[in-house]
């Protein structure tokens, strides 16, 4: 049977991915595809437990390597339990964040060697890579300003800007290294304009 399509979404925090995923899901369902939506870290009950360990603010002394390997562990479970079986049933899988998040957050953000991340994740991925990666491209400062206008200023978020900038630059770099897989979508626009670009791009694959 024909293998399904594996789509991942990426972007810095507040890039509007979640809204676009909902639109993509209903668009592809409307075209008659069976669509599975999942997210990282998490997506399986074991993965969600790993997620709560990673994101627990009490674990602030977690070593960066531990964190990187926990993301990879949650990924291994998701690949095994959900992504591989769904693709072999011919379904479309949309995953909110995947391997590129580890490259940019743990690699570019935390300075872990990219090759090390690649080696660890080669085990987790078990031969699976996204067919299409949508990178919702918005400058992190612009995204923060938008959030401040709707939710009020946040000192912590401002302090984290240096990190978000590194992550953002990492995405830009990956997008230029893998233009066949990663599509940057200009995301400093309204929801409809962004989605119209997404749709036009996905129509090439579906």
Using N-to-C axis directions, what is the helix angle for 17-30 and 191-202, rounded to 10°?
A: 50
- What mask, x for binding ligand TYD by CB under 6 A, covers residues 59 to 78? ------------x-------
Task: Point out the residue whose Cβ comes nearest to ligand TYD.
Answer: 105
Residue 135: which of 87, 89, 100, 91 has the closest Cα?
Answer: 100
How many residues touch ligand TYD (CB under 6 A)? 10
Q: Is 13 in the site for ligand TYD (CB under 6 A)?
A: yes
Contact 83, 43 (CB under 8 A): no
Rounded Cα gap, residues 47 and 73, in angstroms: 8
Compute the chain's Rg from CA coordinates. Answer: 17
Q: Which is nearer to ligand TYD, 39 or 183 (CB)?
A: 39
- Which of residues 38, 86, 102, 187 is near ligand TYD by CB under 6 A? 102
- Structure tokens belonging to residue 158: 């401002």
Q: Is 118 in the site for ligand TYD (CB under 6 A)?
A: no
Torsion of CA 187, 104, 93, 35, to 10 degrees: -30
* Binding segment (CB under 6 A) for ligand TYD, from list 30-38, 77-85, 101-109, 193-201: 101-109
Q: Which residues contact ligand TYD by CB under 6 A?
A: 13, 40-41, 71, 96-97, 101-102, 105-106
């Amino acid at each position: 049977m024909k293998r399904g399509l594996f789509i991942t979404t990426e972007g810095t925090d507040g890039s509007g991915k979640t809204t676009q995923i909902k639109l993509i899901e209903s668009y592809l369902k409307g075209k008659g595809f069976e669509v599975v939506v999942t997210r990282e870290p998490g997506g399986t009950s074991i993965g969600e437990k790993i997620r709560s360990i990673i994101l627990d603010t009490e674990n602030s002394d977690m070593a960066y390597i531990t964190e990187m390997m926990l993301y990879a562990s949650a990924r291994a479970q998701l690949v095994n339990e959900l992504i591989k079986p769904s693709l072999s049933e011919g379904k479309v899988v949309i995953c909110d964040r995947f391997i590129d998040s580890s490259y940019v957050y743990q690699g570019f953000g935390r300075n872990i060697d990219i090759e090390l991340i690649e080696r660890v994740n080669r085990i987790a991925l078990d031969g699976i890579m996204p067919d299409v990666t949508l990178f919702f491209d918005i400058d992190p400062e612009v995204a923060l300003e938008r959030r401040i206008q709707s939710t009020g200023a946040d000192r912590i978020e401002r302090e984290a800007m240096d990190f978000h900038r590194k992550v953002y630059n990492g995405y830009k770099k990956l997008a230029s290294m893998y233009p066949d897989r990663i599509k940057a979508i200009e995301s400093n626009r309204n929801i409809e304009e962004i989605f119209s670009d997404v749709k036009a791009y996905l129509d090439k694959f579906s």
